[in-house]
Structure formats: structure tokens, C-alpha cells
Amino acid sequence: MQHNTNPFGISITTQDIIDTIGFLDSWEERYKYIIDLGKDLLPMAEEKKTDDKLVRGCQSQVWMDYHIDDGIFYFDVDSDAFIVKGLLGVVLAAYNGKRSSEILDFDIDAYFDELALLKHLSPTRGNGIRAMVQRVKDTVTGLN
């Protein structure tokens, strides 16, 4: 079976995102960058967009699936909102293409703080990004 492999966490790293966000002067430019990141996500197949793959707690519809290859997690995600696709890219940069120990050891709060992301998102978007992170962690801990 062919699996999507998103570039996040592989060729687009957390450090790439931190560096680019830090280089941009305004939050308007940063939002545009985050939206552009979402364009790098490969689309999820429509038949995979099922209720069991919906991430609860997100304002927009967000689907998340995964596969494991040789102990490495690869996430397949999609959303019906452009900004949320970009936020999924931000999250996947931390988790995609990583082993469970790397996922669980990654300090996502420090990463978000470095991006100053949560203070510039609406409360509902902030809750949504936390729900995405929780889904990844629940997926990984459920298999250990």
C-alpha cells in the first residue's frame, strides 16, 4: 500500500520553521507563511477521512491517520481550513518521521513558545492545536 510521506519532520524541520518565523517581521507575514506551509501537505485520500480519524476539539475538521515503518511514525493529515493545514505542518515538523521515544521526549510547549504561536491564535485555534498534539501523543502511547 502506498503511504503519503509529508515533508514535515523530514525535509522541513522544527528549526526551519523557528528560523523562518523569527525572520518575518509581522504576524501577518507569519500567518501567510503558516498558510503556505499547509500547501506542502500532501492531501489525504477522501476515503480515509472517516469519523474515527477526526480530531476532536478542533474548530475546523481535522483528520489524522498514521502508519509505522520500521518503528518510525508517519502521519497523514488533512483539514478543511488553510490555516489549520499550516498548523498541522507546524505540529508534524515535530513528530513526523520520528520514533515514539523522540515524539514523547519532544518539548512541544517550548517549541510553541519559541514560535510565540499560541498567543497569536484564537482560543479555539489554540485548543485545536493542543488537540492535534494530544492525538499524536495518544496514538504513540496507545501502541507502547
Range in 32-36, 56-60, 65-69 the model is least confident about: 56-60
Question: Which candidate in 34, 58, 84, 88 is catalytic?
Answer: 58
Q: Is residue 7 part of a domain?
A: no
Could you identify the residue written with the cell 518521521? 97
Q: Is residue 47 part of a domain?
A: yes
Q: Is residue 51 part of a domain?
A: yes
**Is residue 49 annotated as part of the catalytic site, yes or no?**
no
Q: Is residue 107 part of a domain?
A: yes
Instruction: Give the C-alpha separation, 45 to 78, whole Å.
Output: 9
Q: Read off the pLDDT of each residue in 86-92 and give the average, rounded to a whole number.
A: 96
Q: Is residue 75 part of a domain?
A: yes
Q: Is residue 104 part of a domain?
A: yes
Could you identify the residue written with the cell 521526549? 105
pLDDT tens figures, 110-132: 999 999 988 899 899 999 999 99
Q: What's the per-residue H, E or C state across the chain?
A: CCCCCCCECCCECHHHHHHHHHHCCCHHHHHHHHHHHHCCCCCCCHHHCCHHHECCCCCCCEEEEEEEECCEEEEEEEECCHHHHHHHHHHHHHHCCEEHHHHHHCCHHHHHHHHCCHHHCCHHHHHHHHHHHHHHHHHHHHHC
Structural domain count of the chain: 1
Q: Is residue 9 part of a domain?
A: no
State residue 42's pLDDT score.
87
Q: Is residue 3 part of a domain?
A: no
Task: Compute the mean pLDDT over every residue in the chain, rounded to the nearest whole number.
Answer: 92
Question: At residue 2, does pLDDT exceed 60?
Answer: no
Residue 97 main-chain phi, psi, to 5 deg: 75, 25
Question: At residue 108, does pLDDT exceed 50?
Answer: yes
* Residue numbers of the domain that contains 39: 14-143
CATH code for position 74: 3.90.1010.10
